[in-house]
């Protein structure tokens, strides 16, 4: 099968790095790499011909002209025309398919001829804007998928871009979408207002087109995503030993949007990990640390959710053992990649880019392919054994827990307290004087109020290790918590044992 050749055109100096990243993305993506072959200036060998003539000949050979326009106009020939504009004009004359992506830039500093070029393009074509390499990848991804469909080269879209025919805007939770926009504004300067219509916000995210909703939109902002995707869930299990054996100490199946899945799974793991705090005398606040930093846990779980194969009947699985944390997802690495590549800085090639982009905008993931490298770096800084990445039928990340070193471990605290859960013990450790529930929650890096109340506060009250300052009015606005005598004695035992 002949691939569609894409001529990527731009002012060379302005977009050299961006073009290279875009070409690598197209090559590496399992679907795009099958149907498209990008062409870059840098690929040309030395030839006995003017470079401009060579470029124009390549335009003639291509199927698609993809232009990147920004601030600079670039080199001008004897007629004052840049190579980029010459190439666009040749593609137009030859009736090539043309896609234009315009970099978000300060128009006051834009070269007058570039501004005129953009105006000419806008008169002929609808163009998309991009603010970074990654937003460009998302825009190109959705554009090329639409091209393949319109040419009837494919009749089924990738999962995240596929339209869910049975869904309407009524299946989107407006409150969740508004909360996302507020968060994305804070984290990444998202340009759309939270008061904008659902259609406008989803369209900006490439999740809504011609009145239809994509699978990614439902996974991200649906009222009940599992009504459409039953296997979009995370199964979390906690084992007291090092093997998968019954009885399972704790087992939960979480459902909801991808944001909710990540939050719930992260908090499940944190609730079972050992936690240590220092005294207030040494710091103005009460610093604490999980044996595996939250950043590592969150990064690994987000990767599993963002990169999984949603057409699989499998689910993401999170399993915490005595010696390690394992996170499984039904998916595979990009074509040609190895697990060794994940240990170094690498390009970002998400399996579900329309799903990954909002996760980035909300601050759940970073870019530039740093996620797995960050997991290794942070683990090393914390004295943990280097994490492992395993690709078999599923993809697995193994993160090792701290070995017994005389610190306060789960076994030690169990011996010291003898009667409370790890969640209750964490409350005992962080509670100093009288504190609000939100203050303890913030110290423990937990987001969900209901989860913290049900799994931490209520068991602590029932076990008699804490008490409320307004016991007769549980929902009092000034409600605070303090350790009882039993709680104080238990905290002393733990510190003595440590």
How far is the CA of 385 from the CAs of 25, 324, 376, 378, 388, in angstroms?
32, 10, 9, 11, 9
Burial level of 271, CB count in 10 A (0-12/13-18/19+)? Answer: buried
pTM of this structure: 0.70
Question: How do the domains of the chain map onto residue ranges?
Answer: 4-156, 160-227, 234-400, 410-497
Average pLDDT over residues 289-315: 91
Q: pLDDT over 90 for what percent of the chain?
A: 59
What is residue 157's predicted lDDT score, i.e. its pLDDT? 75
- CATH hierarchy code of domain 234-400: 3.30.565.60
- pLDDT tens for 22-74 read 999 998 888 899 999 999 877 665 554 566 788 899 999 999 999 999 999 98
Cα separation, 251 vs 198, in Å, equals 36
Residue 234 pairs with which residues in a beta bridge? 254, 316
| pLDDT of res. 404 | 44
Q: E strands, 64-219, where?
A: 64-69, 97-103, 128-130, 208-209, 212-213
Exposure string over 164-199, b if 16+ CB within 10 A, otherwise e: beebeeebbbeebbbebbebbeeeeebebeeebebe
CA distance 147 to 144: 5
**Is domain 4-156 in CATH 1.20.1250.20, yes or no?**
no
Q: Does 459 have pLDDT greater than 80?
A: yes
pLDDT of residue 224: 95
Over residues 472-478, mean pLDDT? 91
Return the structure tokens found at 308. 């999984």
Report the pLDDT value the prediction gives residue 65, as an integer from 0 to 100: 95
Reported as a single tens digit per residue, the pLDDT across 323-358 is 999 999 988 776 667 777 777 776 667 788 899 899
- For the domain made up of 410-497, the CATH class stated in words is mainly alpha
């Amino acid at each position: 099968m002949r691939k569609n050749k894409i001529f990527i055109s731009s002012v060379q100096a302005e977009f050299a790095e961006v073009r290279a990243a875009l070409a690598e993305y197209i090559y590496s993506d399992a679907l795009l790499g099958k149907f498209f072959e990008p062409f870059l200036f840098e690929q040309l060998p030395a030839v006995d011909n003017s470079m401009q003539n060579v470029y124009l000949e390549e335009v003639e050979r291509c199927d698609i002209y993809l232009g990147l326009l920004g601030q600079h106009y670039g080199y001008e020939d004897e007629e004052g025309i840049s190579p980029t504009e010459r190439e666009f004009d040749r593609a137009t004359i030859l009736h090539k398919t043309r896609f234009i992506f315009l970099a978000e830039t300060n128009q006051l500093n834009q070269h007058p001829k570039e501004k005129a070029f953009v105006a000419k393009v806008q008169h002929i074509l609808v163009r998309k804007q991009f603010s970074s390499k990654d937003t460009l990848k998302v825009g190109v991804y959705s554009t090329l998928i639409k091209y393949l469909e319109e040419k009837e080269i494919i009749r089924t879209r990738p999962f995240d871009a596929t339209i869910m025919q049975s869904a309407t805007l009524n299946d989107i939770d407006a409150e969740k979408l508004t909360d996302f926009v507020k968060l994305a504004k804070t984290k990444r300067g998202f340009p759309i207002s939270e008061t904008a219509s659902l259609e406008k916000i989803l369209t900006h995210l490439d999740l809504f087109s011609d009145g239809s909703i994509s699978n990614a939109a439902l996974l991200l902002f649906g009222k009940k995503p599992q009504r459409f995707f039953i296997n979009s869930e995370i199964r979390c299990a906690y084992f007291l030993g090092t093997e998968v054996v019954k009885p399972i100490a704790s087992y939960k199946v979480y459902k909801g949007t991808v944001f909710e899945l990540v939050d719930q799974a992260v908090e499940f793991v944190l609730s079972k990990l050992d936690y240590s705090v220092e005294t207030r005398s040494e710091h103005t606040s009460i610093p604490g640390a999980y044996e595996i930093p939250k950043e590592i846990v969150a990064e690994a779980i987000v990767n599993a959710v963002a990169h999984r194969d949603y057409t699989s009947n499998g689910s993401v699985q999170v399993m915490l053992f005595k010696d390690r944390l394992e996170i499984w997802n039904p998916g595979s690495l990009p074509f040609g990649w190895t697990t060794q590549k994940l240990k170094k800085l690498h390009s970002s090639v998400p399996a579900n880019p329309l799903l990954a982009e909002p996760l980035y905008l909300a601050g759940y993931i970073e870019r530039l392919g740093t996620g797995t490298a960050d997991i290794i770096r942070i683990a090393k800084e914390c004295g943990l054994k280097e994490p492992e990445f395993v690709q078999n039928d599923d993809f697995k990340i193994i993160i090792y827990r701290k070995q017994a070193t005389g610190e306060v471990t789960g076994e030690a605290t169990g011996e010291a307290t003898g009667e409370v859960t790890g969640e209750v013990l964490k409350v005992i450790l962080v509670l100093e004087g009288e504190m609000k529930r939100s203050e303890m929650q913030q110290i423990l890096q937990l987001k969900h109020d209901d989860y913290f109340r049900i799994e931490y506060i209520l068991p602590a009250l029932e076990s008699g290790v804490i008490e409320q300052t307004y016991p007769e009015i549980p929902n009092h606005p000034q409600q605070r918590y303090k350790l009882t005598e039993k709680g104080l004695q238990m905290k002393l035992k733990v510190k003595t044992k440590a």
